[in-house]
Amino acid sequence: MEEKYFVNLKFCVFVAGWLILPVCPLRHYYFVDKPLTWSEAQTYCRQKYTDLVTIENAAVMSQIQELVSSSHHNTGFWIGLYSTINWKWSDGLAGNPELYWSDGSSFSWSNFIPFGTLMGWQTVLCAFTSVKEEMQWRLKSCEARLPFVCYSPHGDVPQGGG
């Protein structure tokens, strides 16, 4: 199993008089090239780091793309997004699926592939992306086995040495 990491080195500061304070939360990202189900990947990330990666904006997505590309991995990998779907007997889907980040962060930005299709009559689907597909997100069965990306806040030391 191979683990690679990326550290966001951007330094954001807030200047108040003579006081300079860092205000941007920095995160470490870890690509784990070990195919697991989404739930197994989440457990792994929560035990060794913090959680599966949350992608809040294009800058974070670019960092993840750089990390995974440097591992020469171009197929799909799990991210920390999942959906719950309420089905109806009469017409299928009851509204839009509700989307959640694994770590509880609010869902406000996405990069889903246009016209993505849901798979079968599953009630929970998990998100993955790939460098080869320009980092566009897709949903698939959470039981599929894929590598994954974890994160930990800056300063946190991964359990087991990372």
Residue 19 lies in a domain: no
Q: Say which CATH number the domain at 124 has.
A: 3.10.100.10
Distance CA 49, CA 87 (A): 34
> Which residue in this structure is represented by tokens 């080195």?
9
- Determine contact, residues 119/142, Cβ cutoff 8 Å: no
Residue 21 lies in a domain: no
Tokens coding 85: 């779907």
Number of domains comprising the chain? 1
**pLDDT tens digit sequence for 28-68:** 899 999 999 999 999 999 999 999 999 888 888 999 999 99
Residue 104 lies in a domain: yes
What residues contact residue 96 under an 8 Å CB cut-off, 6+ apart?
Answer: none
**pLDDT tens digit sequence for 69-125:** 998 888 899 999 888 765 445 544 444 567 777 877 766 666 665 544 445 545 578
